[in-house]
Structure formats: structure tokens, C-alpha cells
Structure 1
Amino acid sequence: MQQLRCTPMLGVSPLQHFPIDLTAGKQLIGQVDLIAPTPTIEIEDVEMPPKFACYPLVDQIADKLCAMYEFHGEAGDPSTRYRDLADLLLIIRTSDFDAGLFGLALDHQRRHRMSLELPVAIGVPGPAWNASYPASARLVKGLPEELHQLAVALECLAVCMDPILAGRVTVGKWDHTAQRWSRSTDPFGGL
């Protein structure tokens, strides 16, 4: 993966920079998501922005979940990717996704990270998380304040992830509005 540093300009004045991750040759499980950004303002003679090709959501979720529980180095140091927990919370609170595709993406990530063993239930990834996660979570725009507490954040994530990790849910769809798995993939909501 390579990272580009992008700095938008307003006339000659630079605005807030941001990174863009570029990945080539990686096997994806989900379909590339085409996202149409919502313009902040609409101007008659200015075209709408193009759709952006984004890394598939199920692959993003699987990558972030596995990264939380991955150990590093010869000493087997636990992950310190606190931001991944906050990102996962934002995703499960705003997006629906398919259980079957997510399961495939999770299996793909497990195989890719050869020594990774995921828990059967969400728990504290390492001892530093209790002290370090809250400070990291406070920096995440849009994350409700109660989810800055590690125990509350893990409990919220567990509602979505525990049924997958334990193998109780293998088909269906995560309903972000209801915060539960539905067995139906029927777009009209039938069970």
C-alpha cells in the first residue's frame, strides 16, 4: 500500500491536508463501492463531483477487526490501532452490510495474517487499550461521547461482531438502524 498526501487549495491558500491510501493487486471479497459525495453547496454552472471508487466496506471492516487483535514483533505486542475500534463503531452505526460477504472477507484476512486467531467474542485487545483508547476516540469526529469509554465501545461493537465471531450468524444483513442482524436479504424486509 502506498499513501498519497493530498492538500486541497482555495485559490493560493492550502486547506487541511489528508492522506489517500492506494492499494494495487490486493484480492477483494466485496465489490468496489462507488460513492457519490454530497456537495456542501450546489452551484448552477459547476458540475457535480464524480463518484469515488472505494475499498469494499466488508473488506474494510474485516481488515480493521483483524488489525485490532493482531500481535506484532517477536514479543507478540498487542495491537495499538485504537482508531480502528472508533472506525468500526462509526461504520456499524451508519452502514448496512451482508453477513456472508463479511464472513468471507474475515476468513480472507485471517488467512492473510497467518498467525491471527480472532476471539469468539469482542474483548479488550491489549492492556494499553484501557488508558489509550479514550484519548484516541475523543479525536474522532462524529463518534458519540459515550463511545469514548472502552467498555461501552466494545459492548456496542460486540452486538454486531459477536454473532459473526461465534458462528451464530452466517447469512443475512446488518441493519444499522435497528442495530441487529436480520436473516433476510430481501430488499423489502421480509423474513
Structure 2
Amino acid sequence: MMHSPEPYLTARGVEAAIKEAAKKAAQADPSIDTSKRIQLEYFNRFLSRVFSEGEDSEWVLKGGAGVLARIPSTRSTRDIDLYRQGFSLDQALEDLRRLASADLGDHFRFEYTSHEASIAADAQPYTDGYRVSFNIFIGVAGRGSVQIDLVVGAGMTDEVETARPASTLDLPRLTSNRYRLYPVVDQVADKVCATMADYDGRPSSREKDLVDIVVFAVTQDIDGTALSLAIDTELHRRKMEPFERFVVPSAWGTGYVKQSRPVPHCVDYPTVELAAELASRLIDPTLSSEAQGKFWSGDLLEWR
């Protein structure tokens, strides 16, 4: 845990500091604009509460916010995906509400408003989930809301990584806590299987999953044995038949282009064909024994 040396005396002071830090960060890296960076800091204020119990925490950050926490300048996200180990869904909701009410001395307040059962859709169909809403306040001023996709059924095959979020702003006077991140291999496996799955005769429509696979491929070093296990496990959970090659749905293209365009890591992969070729290079060897004992190099873009 990083403690602030001198808290801001007023909510107005906190808000001004966040805006100024967001402007500076956007000037240094225009791929995420000022307003989006402000929203991400609101997310960080919430997540610093969720992860305020440090090593005792059983919470894990998944989804797009988890990708952003590892890799700055990737695609934006509108909500936060959280996984709680060892709890029923209602117990997890109660714990989330408890943590969200923590006072970090930052003049933020997160007020629970509602929750509803979530439908897994193209994500992990075997998970139980709630869609939870909290209103955001800085002092007495409302600043929108944050939506949490809360699940308890997702498993992990690799170790949780604890890290300071890469997308956080330079705000040393605000208390920020390290996040517990869903393993890279499990995130890739989720996206691979979601892409390949059949949904009552329909293919996946989540072209953003290909964006994320490209981002992981060009930024991460990945253990082939671990990724093979993660994909095998995810196939079993989804009750899917094994496949020999990774193939994206034939209708994909426009959505990928739109969502990848603002992402610097996708600059060399502007079309769905180029992206799918890179994804196949990463994934196909893990579907056989070829990647066993090897590591994928995010710099060289090959198995070694």
C-alpha cells in the first residue's frame, strides 16, 4: 500500500489535481484522451478500495480494466470486471459493498445503487454474475456511476499477478493500492474460446477480443505450457470440442478496425486478416504439443 504524504484538504482540490494530471498524461500519450483518463482515475479510486486489504485480498481484476492495468494505451473499457474467490455471489456482493465504502481520505464516495443478475452471453457462460452499480461522488458532487461485472465461478490456472496499474495518473497525494490481476494465460484462453465458441448457431460478435489478443501478443512474454493448460481448462469449462487452429468468424472486420484504430499496439495490424495471422501464430502451437516448454516473445513475436 502506498500512503499519501499530505491529503488534499478539499474535494475541489482533488478534482483539480486529477484533471491536471490527466491533461499532462494525455499530452504525453494522446492515445487516451483527458476525459477517458479522468474516468480511469475514478476507476482507480474504486479499485484502490477493493484492493485495500493487500495480501489478504481474494479479489481479482479481469476484463478490459485488467488489460489496461497491465498495458497502458490499449482499448478503453466502460466497466470493471471483478472475480471473488471462495464466496457465493451474494457474499461477494456484500464484501464488495463493504470495501467500496472504505474511506481513503481522497474525498471520493461510492454509493451502491442496485444490482441485477447478469447474462454471460459471449463471455464465460459457466459463471454466475451480478451487474452492480455504484454512484460516484467527489465531496457532495455526483460524477456519474461505475458498473461492476461481478463473477464468482471463474477459475484460474496460473498465479495472480500483483501490480501497480499501468494506467494510473501521477497523483502521489492520493492513496493507491496495487491490483491483483487475472493471469494473462487465463485471459487469453477466455478470449480464444469465446471467439471459437458457437452461440446457438451464431458466431461470436466480440471483435474486441481479437484486439486484446493482439495487444497481449505484442506486449507479453507467455509460457507455452501454461497457455496450453489454460486453453484446455477453458474448453472443458465451456464444454467445447477441441480445435486445431484458431479462426475468427468470417463476418469480422469492421468492428476490429474501429476498435483497434486508437490502440498503438495494433498499428502494425490494421486489418482483421493481419491480426488473425498474428493471433494464430501465438495460439496454434499451444493447441498441439508444439509450444510445450517454450516461451512466446512479445518482442520477437515468435515461440522460442
Question: What is the SS of the residue equivalent to 1:71?
Answer: coil
**Are positions 1:77 and 2:202 aligned together?**
yes
The Cα offsets for residues 25-78 of structure 1, whole Å up to 9 and x where unpaired, read as: 4321011121212542243x544x2111121111111010110010011xx111
1:92 matched residue in structure 2:
217
1:121 matched residue in structure 2:
245
Q: Identify the structure with the greater helix proportion.
A: 2
Match of 1:55 among 177, 182, 192: 182
Task: Tell me the C-alpha RMSD between the 2 structures.
Answer: 2.5
1:160 matched residue in structure 2:
282
**Are positions 1:133 and 2:262 aligned together?**
no
**Are positions 1:144 and 2:266 aligned together?**
yes
- Alpha-carbon distance change, 180 to 24 in structure 1, aligned in 2, over 3 angstroms: same
Which segment is superposed worse, 5-14 or 91-100? 5-14
Distance in 2 (CA, whole Å) between partners of 1:20 and 1:143 is: 26
Deviation, structure 1 residue 167: 2.9
Q: 1:14 corresponds to which letter in structure 2?
A: R
Question: What is the SS of the residue equivalent to 2:245?
Answer: coil
Distance in 2 (CA, whole Å) between partners of 1:7 and 1:181 is: 45
Is the CA contact (8 Å cut-off) linking 1:69 and 1:116 kept in structure 2? no
The structure whose Rg is larger is: 2
**Are positions 1:33 and 2:161 aligned together?**
yes
Question: What is the SS of the residue equivalent to 1:26?
Answer: coil
Structure 2, unaligned runs of 5 or more: 1-128
Is the CA contact (8 Å cut-off) linking 2:135 and 2:146 kept in structure 1? yes
Identity among equivalent positions (%) equals 24
Distance in 2 (CA, whole Å) between partners of 1:103 and 1:63 is: 12
Question: What is the SS of the residue equivalent to 2:264?
Answer: coil
Distance in 2 (CA, whole Å) between partners of 1:46 and 1:133 is: 36
Is the CA contact (8 Å cut-off) linking 1:35 and 1:54 kept in structure 2? yes
Q: Normalization by structure 1: what TM-score?
A: 0.77
Deviation, structure 1 residue 8: 5.5
**Are positions 1:171 and 2:298 aligned together?**
no
